[in-house]
Structure 1
Amino acid sequence: MTSSTNTFFLLMANGSIESAELPEYNEIFIKYFFVHGQDWDKIAGLEEGSTQIGHKSIDQRQTIAFNFPLDITFKSTCPFGWPQLVVSCYGQDVFGNDVIRGYGVTHLPMSPGRHKLRIPLFVPESTSKMQKFFAWIQGRRPEYIDPRVLAHGEGREVTRVRSQGFLNLNFNIVTKDMRKLGYVTTTGESSSANISNQMTEINNTTLANLTQTLGFNPEQSYVGQTPRF
């Protein structure tokens, strides 16, 4: 009797597109795409979709709430090509045309647990003021033919863009059988604890070096005493 072992691992992500921070605009909707490498396969959920139209809040934050659910599951044999989420925010101009208000891209979190992400948005810029004027008149602003190109590095350096707002996301990440294939991931809490322990060790080492060099402990109180060097 032979025991079968999995040759792939699973990545399950569910969460939501919470809100957008675009104070200059109102009535925004978002198109999203999941982009991944060739070794990855989607086994559940939707790889692309569109949200409802969101309206700007009337408080000081002026955020546009969506709370649009995201749920997708992948399988793969290799972490290369880890899935990315590409978003395109659209709104209407004064002529009623749908124009781009912001692009954004981020990798899905690699560690299991709950994650909150705040990704910057940007829009392409015209190469000259004349082109910018004609684009405004015609209602055809610079935009990508296929936003999925944002998940790749080729040609990104020749594109002129400017920052424009932020998008807030949250994800719950679950992985399965990654350790069996030799891949080790840690939760966000474990990572924070490791960083805290490392900083404590560094501080203790620095304090010990100062004590040895100065001849006294800087943390102790020497009121009314003159330290000897």
Structure 2
Amino acid sequence: MAAVSPSVFLLTVNGQIEAGNFPEYDNLYCKYCYVYGNDWTPTFGLEEGITQITCKGSQSNKLIWNFPLETTFKSTSPSGWPQLVVSVYGPDVFGNDVVRGYGATHIPITPGQHSRTIPMFVPEPTWRLQKFTSWLLGRRPEYTDPKVVAQGEGRGVTRVRSQGFVTVSFHIMTKDMRKLGYDTGPSTTQPYSTDWSAD
């Protein structure tokens, strides 16, 4: 009996939002979500989440979250490959939660262990008066939908300022990509050469 050819492939994302470096700020937390194309559907795990609040150690500027990520997607096409969007928030001098950084990275294509450093940025007011009133009122510029940072449309008109970075680790597994004609290169998951990573 002939084997049935698969109609979809699977992508499993495990890992963690490890740490952040924001020298000017403390007591920060992250929100995360995924942005993906129309052919993609999450089948397991969380599409979005929020970490705990963490503060810096006495010897370092590093903020440690070690917040787990675990999601599986299915798709018929690699077009619209998922991106992880991270937003970092913390209190201002008035105790209001304000955005301290936005950033995004594509989920690695190759199975195995990966580490990514995501540069973060914040939107800036255009005029000095706007800057002063936003500080005074505790209403800093921010996106109504953080997913906009993973899309090209409408971002070109935004004025931004670099603002620290976040490190993320990934363990990627795929299934049936090669059977559908997609080659993602050699797998780096030798200990995990199961049906998943080997395709």
- TM-score, with structure 1 as normaliser: 0.80
Does the 8 Å CA contact 2:44/2:73 hold for their aligned counterparts?
Answer: yes
2:62 aligned with 1:63, yes or no? Answer: yes
Q: Shift of the alpha carbon at 1:188? A: 7.3
| 1:112 corresponding residue in structure 2 | 111
- Cα deviation digits, residues 100-149 of structure 1 (max 9, x gap): 00001000001111001111000000001000000001100000000011
Q: Tell me, yes or no, if structure 1 residue 18 matches structure 2 residue 18.
A: yes
In structure 2, the residue matched to 1:155 is: 154
Look up the SS of the partner of 1:154 in the other structure: coil
Give the unaligned 5+ runs of structure 1: 191-229
| Cα deviation, residue 90, structure 1 | 0.2
Matches within 5 A, 1:16-95: 16-59=16-59, 61-95=60-94
CA distance in 2, matches of 1:31, 1:82: 20
Whether the aligned pair in 2 keeps the contact of 1:54 and 1:65 (CA below 8 Å) is yes
CA distance in 1: counterparts of 2:101 and 2:148, whole angstroms: 15
Task: State the SS of the aligned residue for 2:135.
Answer: helix
Tell which has more relative contact order, 1 or 2 (C-alpha 8 A, sep 6+): 2
Matches within 5 A, 1:133-212: 133-187=132-186
Aligned pairs (5 A) from 1:1-16 = 3-16=3-16
2: CA distance, partners of 1:23 / 1:187 = 38
More strand by share: 2
Whole-Å separation in 2 of the counterparts to 1:139 and 1:187: 50
Higher helix fraction: Structure 1 or Structure 2?
1
* Aligned-pair Cα RMSD in Å: 1.4
Aligned length: 189
| Residue of structure 2 equivalent to 1:204 | none
Q: Does structure 1 retain, via aligned residues, the 8 Å contact 2:113–2:188?
A: no
| Partners of 2:115 and 2:75 in 1: CA distance | 24
Q: CA deviation at 1:23?
A: 1.1
Q: Once superposed, which parts of structure 1, at least 4 consecutive aligned residues long, lie more than 6 Å away?
A: none
Which amino acid in the other structure matches residue 5 of structure 1? S
Q: Which has the larger radius of gyration?
A: 1
Indicate the SS of the match to 1:158: coil
Give the superposition deviation at 1:4.
2.1
Call closer, same or farther: CA 1:102–1:187 in 2, change over 3 Å. Answer: farther
**Is the partner of 2:156 in helix, strand or coil?**
helix
Q: Give the Cα separation in 2 of the matches to 1:44 and 1:57.
A: 35
Name the % identity.
58
The alpha carbon displacement at 1:3 in A equals 3.9
Please report how far the alpha carbon of residue 5 of structure 1 lies from its aligned counterpart in structure 2 after TM superposition.
1.6
Report the CA distance shift for 1:188/1:127 in structure 2 as closer, same or farther (over 3 A): farther
Does the 8 Å CA contact 1:113/1:187 hold for their aligned counterparts? no
Q: Report the 3-state secondary structure (helix = DSSP H, G, I; strand = E; otherwise coil) of the residue aligned with 2:149.
A: helix
Deviation (angstroms), 1:62: 1.0
Q: What amino acid sits opposite 2:39 in the alignment?
A: D
1:35-78 deviation line (CA, Å, top 9, x unaligned): 1111000000000010000111211x310000000000000000
Other structure's SS at 1:186 match: coil
Question: In the TM superposition, what is the alpha-carbon distance from 1:156 to its structure 2 partner?
Answer: 1.0
Per the alignment, do residues 139 and 84 of structure 1 end up closer, same or farther by CA in structure 2, a change over 3 Å counting? Answer: same
- Secondary structure in 2 aligned to 1:157? coil
Deviation of 1:2 after TM superposition, in Å, equals 5.8
**Cα deviation per residue 1:154-208 (whole Å; 9 max; x = unaligned)?**
0111000010101011000001100011100124769xxxxxxxxxxxxxxxxxx
In structure 1, C-alpha distance between the alignment counterparts of 2:188 and 2:97, rounded to whole Å: 42
